[in-house]
């Protein structure tokens, strides 16, 4: 006969079979008459038929195994994606920066519109572009548009802060005729100015005008 302590020990081993499946316990019968050993094996190497049928799906396939390495990689990738999406939402929601007015009514020293610098630049540009060009209505129309954009971009690169730049280029046929081009504007004589240059070759006449108007 087993004692009460031995019975409790064997029952505890059976209850912990799932936690420690490889654990094997042996209880000595100190209180038994013959002194024999009572051993209980709590290891289950193969599940019974009923348990195996419960663990498998309807098609008889075993349940899928979980790959913990892939699970960790997927979790880290998800966290990185969530972090990027949150940063994008913060950038979109960031309010626009509003600058206060400077209340400056005139350019700084050395930043006034310089007609001589602009005229020298226009001279080089027109001579380089029109040196070998012969007048044709369609061709000169395209060239005038290209020269206007080119001269305007070069004037902006001269660094005249807060100046609005207006550029016009006129090209006409050279038949030794008279030509007059007039312009009129309302501006401040102390800050605003203009530059003009006329180029001639045997077949055409080109007139370029650039106006610099200070924006308060």
Q: Which of the two residues, 105 and 174, has the higher pLDDT score?
A: 174
Q: Is the dihedral of CA 166, 167, 172, 174 positive or negative?
A: positive
Three-state DSSP state, 96: coil
Mean pLDDT value across the chain: 78
- Buried b / exposed e over 41-70, threshold 16 CB at 10 Å, is ebeeeeeeeeeeeeeeeeeeeeeeeeeeee
C-alpha to C-alpha distance for 12 and 9, rounded to whole angstroms:
5
Q: Please provide the DSSP assignment of 18-58 as one string.
A: TTSTT-EEEEE-TTSSS--EEEEE---SS--HHHHHHHS-T
C-alpha to C-alpha distance for 10 and 29, rounded to whole angstroms:
12
pLDDT tens column, 32-77: 444 444 444 444 444 554 454 455 556 666 666 667 667 777 788 8
Q: Which DSSP state fits 157?
A: T
C-alpha to C-alpha distance for 210 and 167, rounded to whole angstroms:
4
Instruction: Look at 9-18, 62-71, 113-122, 173-182 and tell me which has the smallest mean pLDDT.
Output: 9-18
C-alpha to C-alpha distance for 191 and 104, rounded to whole angstroms:
12
pLDDT tens column, 142-161: 999 999 999 999 999 999 99
Res. 6: pLDDT tops 60: yes
C-alpha to C-alpha distance for 103 and 23, rounded to whole angstroms:
87
Show the domains of the chain with their CATH numbers. Answer: 4-55 (no CATH), 115-214 (3.30.1140.40)
pLDDT tens column, 186-199: 899 999 999 999 99
pTM to 2 decimals?
0.54
């Amino acid at each position: 006969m087993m004692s009460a302590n031995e019975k409790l020990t064997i029952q505890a081993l059976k209850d912990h079979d799932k936690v420690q499946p490889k654990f094997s316990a042996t209880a000595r019968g100190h209180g038994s008459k013959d002194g024999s050993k009572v051993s209980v094996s709590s290891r289950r190497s193969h599940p019974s038929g009923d348990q195996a049928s419960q663990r498998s799906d309807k098609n008889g396939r075993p349940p899928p195994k979980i790959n913990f390495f892939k699970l960790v990689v997927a979790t880290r990738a998800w966290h990185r994606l969530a972090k990027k999406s949150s940063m994008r939402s913060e950038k979109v929601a960031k309010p626009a920066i509003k600058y206060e007015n400077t209340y400056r009514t005139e350019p700084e020293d050395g930043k006034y519109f310089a007609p001589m610098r602009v005229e020298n630049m226009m001279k080089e540009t027109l001579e380089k572009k029109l040196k070998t060009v012969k007048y044709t209505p369609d061709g000169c129309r395209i060239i005038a548009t290209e020269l206007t954009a080119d001269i305007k971009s070069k004037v902006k690169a001269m660094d005249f802060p807060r100046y609005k730049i207006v550029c016009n280029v006129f090209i006409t046929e050279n038949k030794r005729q008279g030509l007059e081009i007039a312009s009129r504007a309302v501006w401040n004589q102390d800050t605003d100015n203009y530059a003009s240059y006329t180029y001639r070759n045997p077949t055409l006449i080109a007139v370029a005008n650039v106006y610099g108007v200070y924006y308060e």
